[in-house]
Amino acid sequence: MNVYYDIEKFKKVQNAVVTIGTFDGVHQGHQVILNNLVHRSRELGGESVVVTFYPHPRQVLSNDSGIRFISTQEEKIRHLEALGIDNLIIIKFTKEFAAISSEDFITDYLVKNIHPTVLIIGYDHHFGKGRTGDFGMLYDLGKQYHFKVEKIQEQDVDNVAVSSTKIRHFLENGDIKNANKLLGYEFSYTGKVIHGQQVGHKMGYPTANIDVADEFKLIEHQGVYATFADIDGNSYPSMTYIGKRPTMHDNRPQSIETHIIGFEKDLYDKEIKIRFVDFVRDDEKFDNFEALKRQIGIDEQTIINILNKKI
């Protein structure tokens, strides 16, 4: 996949089939659009082109400093590449860019630099200053500039409309199974293993402390989860804790700690990926370390039973 951080450097292709969006999470609704994009580009003997934005528009236009997202920029790129996208254009989103009118965006950005043959959009797609651009405007501009506009209808999974907002809500409430159902894959964190306080090791459950470098990556509901840890191309059953370790009374910030079941190798400074399968229990404060250790043992067996059904 060719990745462009400047639309003016895009090398024009014959029969470009284009879509536009933020694609946070690249969920099942997005995947329908993107699969159609790839199919249509192959059908026309052309190439697929995804136009997206970074930072996310909400980071620039909203005063909410607590905004968090399902996927990091790197994760989004990997998902798009896995779907067979030929070209990705990442436009730097600024307040100045947000002030561009809908029509100017199409003419000065898409038509001038890409010259699309087909533009594929989602059922509720709006764009440009004040989000005034819509299907009707695109249809009229398509006739003027000789591109066809195709609209993909809303997607449901088990009668639930798929949206990034719903997935974020599920994750924030620990409903990892429904989040994964709408994503079409397992939500994950990728990060470097950093040194902790070795508390888990002392209790017989050594953990890999995961440093998620992107501060805008959404961190799930605090608690214990059944997970898989992907290390050097291999996948291992694991249990992951997200929380502030209330039993320790150490007032430390929230951490992500994974015990990889049956794994004893040194992982410090290694990048690993943690895939979330199911929620096991909420975080809680125990009377002492022994009570915590007993509960961890119960959690481990519960998680082994869950993950055995997935293998």
For the sheet with 47-54, list strands across it. 2-4, 87-92, 47-54, 16-20, 118-122, 148-152
pLDDT for the residue numbered 204: 63
pLDDT for the residue numbered 198: 58
pLDDT for the residue numbered 155: 74
pLDDT for the residue numbered 36: 95
With beta carbons less than 8 A apart as the criterion, state whether 134 and 99 touch: no
Across the chain, the runs of DSSP E, i.e. the strands, are 2-4, 16-20, 47-54, 87-92, 118-122, 148-152, 156-157, 160-161, 188-194, 208-211, 223-231, 234-243, 255-260, 271-282
Specify the residue for token string 């400093």.
65
Among 137, 172, 196, 177, residue whose Cα is nearest residue 279: 177
pLDDT for the residue numbered 143: 93
pLDDT for the residue numbered 153: 82
Q: Which residues of the chain have pLDDT under 50?
A: none
With beta carbons less than 8 A apart as the criterion, state whether 36 and 130 touch: no
The whole-angstrom separation of Cα 218 and Cα 174 is 12
The whole-angstrom separation of Cα 26 and Cα 69 is 11
The whole-angstrom separation of Cα 299 and Cα 126 is 46
Phi, psi of 145 (to 5 degrees): -110, 10
pLDDT for the residue numbered 37: 97
Q: Identify the structural domains of the chain with CATH numbers, from first to last.
A: 2-160 (3.40.50.620), 187-308 (2.40.30.30)
Torsion sign across C-alpha atoms 133, 138, 15, 111: negative
Among 78, 88, 2, residue whose Cα is nearest residue 53: 88
Amino acid in the structure at residue 63: N
pLDDT for the residue numbered 125: 76
With beta carbons less than 8 A apart as the criterion, state whether 292 and 200 touch: no
Half-sphere exposure of 46 (CA within 13 A, CB side): 22
The whole-angstrom separation of Cα 187 and Cα 174 is 12
The whole-angstrom separation of Cα 185 and Cα 275 is 9
pLDDT for the residue numbered 22: 92
